[in-house]
Structure 1
């Protein structure tokens, strides 16, 4: 049980496996008003940068779960580097269906809503580990511009334009599910560039080091196409953000916007 090698190669140097940079990640931690002693569960935690830096900066503790052995080892090393290994731990495992033994203050799924089959199922999963009055963090793509051609849809890693909502559509949908949006931090063009362009360098360095590998041709073709596809399709069309949510008291369903 592990992530496919091409994904690991692409993100091998990343500490943050989404289009937030370290400044935005720190901004998010401050915006949440984290307090010492609060507990966090981070599902699909990647290399653990969020949990490790927030443990250092805000005194929280908790657990990260990820499917990649490479990333969980990197997370454990990062925790030791930042001196927070006594407060956070990381386990290799399936985040889909994972529920904490004891409810926590903050439950996160930042960029991996596949673990619950989409936004709705992921929020249901996260809520099962949440203390009453606690906060959920959801990282999710949205459309800046809804694509009308199959090439753009494919370049944005979607199967159809209906896979994602616009930002107003997403925020409205979260409200319709009974969640108050209490904070958000959105990727910008520069943080997207840093995320994607670093992937190209990672792939190129892997290609240089592995000319005879069975996946060489696949990753060579990917690098040939990825930069142009990104600047042509993904960069102008796709947004991404992290949304902090709290369950609305006395919630009753309201119609979800179709946008």
Structure 2
């Protein structure tokens, strides 16, 4: 079971839905230079911590999210923060959103490059969307030790791919083991607490079994081996 309902359960209390922290995302915002009146497009907005933070910095935000539960949570968060007038969530596939070329000052995709078929297509898409001199931030998985594997690139390779699109990397913010443990542990706890609260739900055992399988994979194979970083880059295009 890995669908919208499952992730709504296991990430239902995550403030940040990636292996990072609010403090580190504020550093990403600093590297981006978020400013009042700037237009920001975010791919895969989730429950809205990042988009609401950008709106509180004064940006006019458009967030794209396919999960209706997360989209609703993001809208509530924006209303509670008093920034709903400059915080728009569009429900639906990111690939179907007609972003205006050069129409944004900033564009971000934090852990959701799958929405645009991967890291490389995401960079290409964001580089077209942001005006020359604007900035993008993309959070992506990579190997933790700097080597390359058939499944994952190194952090250096991620930066090299950015250069292919005339993107000048000016900042990197990386997850550590504590970030990963906190992110993963909260999923396991959410699954267990949801299981206990819903004794009659027809999928309760499926949810718990899936969560336990993820826990086993993380502890056995992934902990200390997976890296996750946000790369911030300036769009040079023609500059």
- Same fold (TM > 0.5): yes
Q: Could you give the per-residue CA deviations for residues 177-232 of structure 1, whole angstroms, max 9, x where no partner exists?
A: 43210112111111111111110111011111223333223222233333343233
Q: Give the one of 176, 182, 200 matched to 2:164.
A: 176
Name 2:62's counterpart in structure 1.
63
Whether contact under 8 Å (2:132, 2:238) holds in the other structure is no
Name 2:92's counterpart in structure 1.
93
Aligned residue pairs: how many? Answer: 236
Once the two structures are TM-superposed, the CA of residue 98 in structure 1 deviates from its matched residue by 2.2
Of the structure 1 ranges 180-189 and 212-221, higher mean CA displacement relative to structure 2 is found in 212-221
Q: Could you give the per-residue CA deviations for residues 113-137 of structure 1, whole angstroms, max 9, x where no partner exists?
A: 1122111211122233212221121
Name 1:6's counterpart in structure 2.
6
Q: Could you give the per-residue CA deviations for residues 144-170 of structure 1, whole angstroms, max 9, x where no partner exists?
A: 14899xxxxxxxxxxxx4232011222
Classify the secondary structure of the residue corresponding to 2:18: coil
Give the TM-score taking structure 2 as reference length: 0.90
Please list, as runs of the form range in 1=range in 2, the aligned pairs for 1:46-61 lying within 5 A after superposition.
46-56=46-56, 58-61=57-60
Whether contact under 8 Å (2:63, 2:88) holds in the other structure is yes
Once the two structures are TM-superposed, the CA of residue 11 in structure 1 deviates from its matched residue by 0.7
CA RMSD of aligned residues (A): 2.2
Q: Measure the CA separation in 2 of the matches of 1:4 and 1:71.
A: 9
Q: Measure the CA separation in 2 of the matches of 1:96 and 1:250.
A: 25
Classify the secondary structure of the residue corresponding to 2:178: helix
Name 1:141's counterpart in structure 2.
141
Q: Measure the CA separation in 1 of the matches of 2:59 and 2:86.
A: 7
Once the two structures are TM-superposed, the CA of residue 83 in structure 1 deviates from its matched residue by 1.1
Name 1:38's counterpart in structure 2.
38
Please list, as runs of the form range in 1=range in 2, the aligned pairs for 1:85-234 lying within 5 A after superposition.
85-101=84-100, 103-145=103-145, 161-234=149-222
Once the two structures are TM-superposed, the CA of residue 140 in structure 1 deviates from its matched residue by 0.4
Q: Measure the CA separation in 2 of the matches of 1:60 and 1:177.
A: 25
With over 3 angstroms needed to count, the CA separation of the structure-2 counterparts of 1:181 and 1:130, relative to structure 1, is same
With over 3 angstroms needed to count, the CA separation of the structure-2 counterparts of 1:36 and 1:201, relative to structure 1, is same
Of the structure 1 ranges 233-242 and 213-222, higher mean CA displacement relative to structure 2 is found in 213-222
Once the two structures are TM-superposed, the CA of residue 47 in structure 1 deviates from its matched residue by 1.1
Is there any run of 5+ residues in structure 2 with no aligned partner, and where? none
